[in-house]
Amino acid sequence: MATKLSDNHIKLAIQKDGRLTEDTHNLLRTVGLHFESYKQRLFSICRNFPMDILYVRDDDIAEYVAEGVVDLGIVGRNLVVESEKPVEEIMPLNYGHCSLKVAVPADSGIERIEQLSGCKVATSYPVTTTRFFAERNVDVNVITISGSVEITPALGVASGIVDLVSTGSSLRLNDLVAIDDVLDSQSIVIGNRDSLANSHKSAIIERLLTRFRGVITASEYKYVMMNVPTSALEYISTIMPGLKSPTVLPTADVEWMAVHTAIHEDMFWDVIEELKTLGAQGILVSSIEKMFV
Ligand code: AMP
C-alpha cells in the first residue's frame, strides 16, 4: 500500500532544496523528529510525532499555509511579507538571517533614496519595494527581475536595486553600496489561522513550538563551569546574570568554589573577561543543545 498523509497529523511545509533546507532539517532532527528525507521525496511522515513534512518551493509556502494545504510553514520572512498572504507569523528561528536593502553603484554619488526619485529600481521583491518607496513618497519605477538583480545597474537596466543581503559580498563584488534597509529577515514559522484555532491541531503545534523554543533559547546561551575564589563568590554571582542564580558547589579546597551557569551570548565575552580579572580559573565553556526555562 502506498504511504499517504494522515488526517490526524499536522502538516508542515519546508523548502525542498535551497538555502534554508539544511538548517531546517537540522532543526527538525535536533528537536527529536525521526523522518526519512531524500531529494526526490514530496513528503515525509514523522515516525515519532503526529506530523507530515511537505517539501515545496519556498515561494509557495506562504500560499499553502494561507490556503490550509498545510498547517505550518518554515520560510524566510522576506517571502511572507512579499506574498501578502494572511498567515500568522508565529516564531523566528534564528537562522537564514538577511536583509532586503536598497543598493546603488558605489560611484553613482547617490546616498539617499530620495535621489532615486524618477529612476528605475530592479528587484525580485516588487510588492515590498513598491510599498517601501510609496511610504516614503519617493516615486520610482520598480522593475521586476527574477534573479541576478545585482548586475542590473551595470547593464544599464536600473539605477538602483532592492535585494537580499547577508554578508554583503555580492554587493561588493558588483561595486554596489547599500544606502537603506527595507526589511530584516530570518527563517520563521508561519501558521494557518484556522489550524491555530483548532484545538486538536493547536495542541500538536504547541508541542512542536515548545521543542523549537528549547533549541533556539539554547543556541543563545553557553554553559560555563569554573572555579572561583570563595572570597569573590558574592560579587561574581552579581556579574553573572544567568537564568537564575548560578549553581555553587564546594570543592576539596575551602578557598575555592565550583560555579556552573548559563550565560547569554550578548554578554558572554564581557563576563568571561571580568571573571578572569576576578580570579576565576579553569573556565570551561560548552554549547547547550536544548534549554527549557
Ligand atoms: P534560495 O531560494 O534557496 O536562495 O533561498 C532563499 C531564501 O534564503 C530567501 O528567501 C531568504 O529568506 C534566505 N536568505 C538568507 N540569506 C540570503 C541571501 N544572501 N540571499 C538570498 N536569500 C537569502
pLDDT digits (tens, 9 = 90+) for 140-181: 999 999 989 999 999 999 999 999 999 999 999 999 999 999
Q: Whose CA is nearest to atom 12 of ligand 1?
A: 76
Ligand 1 centre distance from Cα of residue 196 (Å):
27
Per-residue confidence (pLDDT) for residue 40, from 0 to 100: 77
Q: How many CB atoms lie within 10 A of CB 135?
A: 8
Per-residue confidence (pLDDT) for residue 1, from 0 to 100: 47
Contact 223, 275 (CB under 8 A): no
Per-residue confidence (pLDDT) for residue 3, from 0 to 100: 64
Phi, psi of 62, deg, nearest 5: -60, -40
Ligand 1 pocket test: which of 15, 17, 20 has the largest number of ligand atoms within 8 Å of its C-beta?
A: 20
CA atoms within 13 Å, Cβ hemisphere of 217: 13
Q: Report the distance separating Cα 222 and Cα 265, nearest Å.
A: 7
Give the residue range(s) of CATH 3.40.190.10 domains in the chain: 10-95+186-218, 98-185
Which H helix or E strand runs over 182?
A: strand 176-185
* Run means of pLDDT, 10 residues per run, the chain, 293 residues: 74 96 96 87 94 96 98 98 98 97 97 98 98 98 96 96 95 97 98 97 98 95 94 84 78 95 91 92 95 87
CA-based nearest residue to 211, from 291, 288, 287, 286: 291
What's the pTM? Answer: 0.91
| Region of residue 137 (left: phi > 0; alpha: psi -120 to 50; beta: else) | left
CB within 6 Å of ligand 1 — which residues?
A: 18-20, 58, 76, 78-79, 96, 98, 164-166, 185
- Give the class (CATH, top level) of 221-287: alpha beta
Measured between its terminal Cα atoms, the distance across the chain in Å is 44
Per-residue confidence (pLDDT) for residue 245, from 0 to 100: 77
Show the cell assigned to 266.
550578548
For residue 166, the ligand 1 atom closest to its alpha carbon is 19
CA distances from 233 to 88, 151, 193, 203, 257 (A): 46, 58, 50, 44, 8
Per-residue confidence (pLDDT) for residue 239, from 0 to 100: 81
Contact 103, 111 (CB under 8 A): no
CA-based nearest residue to 152, from 118, 188, 121: 121
Q: What is the bridge-based pairing of β-strands 43-45 and 72-76? A: unpaired
Q: Report the distance separating Cα 49 and Cα 56, nearest Å.
A: 20
Please say whether the structural domain 10-95+186-218 has been given the CATH code 3.40.190.10: yes
CATH of domain 98-185: 3.40.190.10
Show the cell assigned to 280.
576565576
Ligand 1 centre distance from Cα of residue 201 (Å):
29
Residue 54 β-bridge partners: 13, 43
Ligand 1 pocket test: which of 59, 100, 164 has the largest number of ligand atoms within 8 Å of its C-beta?
A: 164
Show the cell assigned to 140.
520610482
Q: Whose CA is nearest to atom 5 of ligand 1?
A: 19
Per-residue confidence (pLDDT) for residue 235, from 0 to 100: 85
Write down the residue that cell numbers 554587493 correspond to: 171
